[in-house]
Amino acid sequence: MPAPSVHGTYFDGQSARAHPVSLVLEDSLEITGRDLRLAWSLPDLVAGDTARPLMRVGPTGSAARVEFTDEGLAEALKERCPGLYRTDPSASGGRLRLVLWSIAAGISVIGLAVYGVPAIAVRLAPVIPAAMEARIGGAVDGQIGRLLGDPPLCDDASARAVLDRLIQRMTANGDLSVDPAVTIRRHGIANALTLPGGRVVVLSELIDKSDTPDEFAGVLAHEFGHVAAHDPMRALLAASGSSFLLSLVLGDLTGSTIIVAVGQAAISAGYSREAENAADAYSVEVMRRSGGDATALATILRRIAKDDAKDEFASLLRSHPYTAERADRIAEMAGTETVGRRILDEAEWATLKGICRNLPAKSVK
């Protein structure tokens, strides 16, 4: 009888792009996805530090990893991989960095009492190493999933291809320090969440609520603005405060206190007015240079403001202050020269709106 497959997410270690895969444990860990087929030797596997039930494993000496939440597969790997929790030799080069970060963290804890968490967050967030931020982002992603009820991944192949081309067009100028990893989860709330490490989680109702592809792309570009400004890391530092700084000293960057704090922050806490304005300006510029309607973000915000009293956009991006005044400011920045443009044609938009068609009806939240 063939071994059962488990859904997981593969990261190649070169970018933050998330690849949905199927995992099968045989004589090796077999990983299968679109244009991807790997077989990892069990004696070579090492596990990363994560918060249960999320598990992350990969070959020793390699940056490639897979993440999954299946408890059965996790237990099977523990039984069949005696070296699963050994120290990865590839991490030895980071010991000096850990010492330096421990010293920096100690100084930061002292600074906490003098200057306060917000001031520290502004200065510290941009210098967090990319590998560390990606590690935190992976753990937060799992926590977000649990807080939202584990919404299933929408990844219809044709729709995903349209989304990937859209993201590539919007990020072609290379001003982001990491490639954004955008995942779509089927959920009845319209929302988009930006996490550390360039991860953006879009709940499918946002696509359903968007009248045009440019409205959706405008919101997505806004989230990319938060990635560019390292706003998720600032939110993490502000939410977890001294707990995060202490974790730098202890080496526990995925502790439950921190992850729960930032998970809750990503869903319900707002960015500052300055951060939102900067992300709006970033969205306008991205839409303008990508061939889209730069005013579309203002259009969807006005509709939200109008329909909010009817509760038709309940909890829509509730971490963001959507007001008519904000929409007017965006429209003024965008001007009128891009009005009427479409960043996707009708066929592409129709395909993208069906990105959850790969899921059975019973999975609807």
User: pLDDT tens digit string along 153-212?
Assistant: 999 999 999 999 999 999 998 888 888 999 999 998 888 888 888 999 999 999 999 999
359: amino acid identity, one letter: L
- In 3D, which of 296, 271, 273 has the Cα closest to residue 283? 296
Contact 238, 265 (CB under 8 A): yes
Ranking 90-94, 101-105, 124-128 by mean pLDDT, the lowest is 90-94
In angstroms, rounded to a whole number, what is the distance separating the alpha carbons of residues 16 and 137? 10
Tokens of 31: 């990983």
Cα→Cα distances 74→65, 77, 83, Å: 14, 5, 14
Residues 6+ apart with CB under 8 A from 154: 184, 185, 186, 204, 355, 356, 358, 359
3-state secondary structure of 239: helix
Which domains can be identified in the chain, with CATH numbers? 6-86 (2.30.29), 124-363 (no CATH)
| pLDDT for residue 252 | 45
User: pLDDT tens digit string along 21-48?
Assistant: 999 999 999 999 988 999 999 999 999 8
User: pLDDT tens digit string along 258-288?
Assistant: 444 555 555 554 677 888 889 999 999 999 9
| pLDDT for residue 241 | 54
| pLDDT for residue 18 | 81
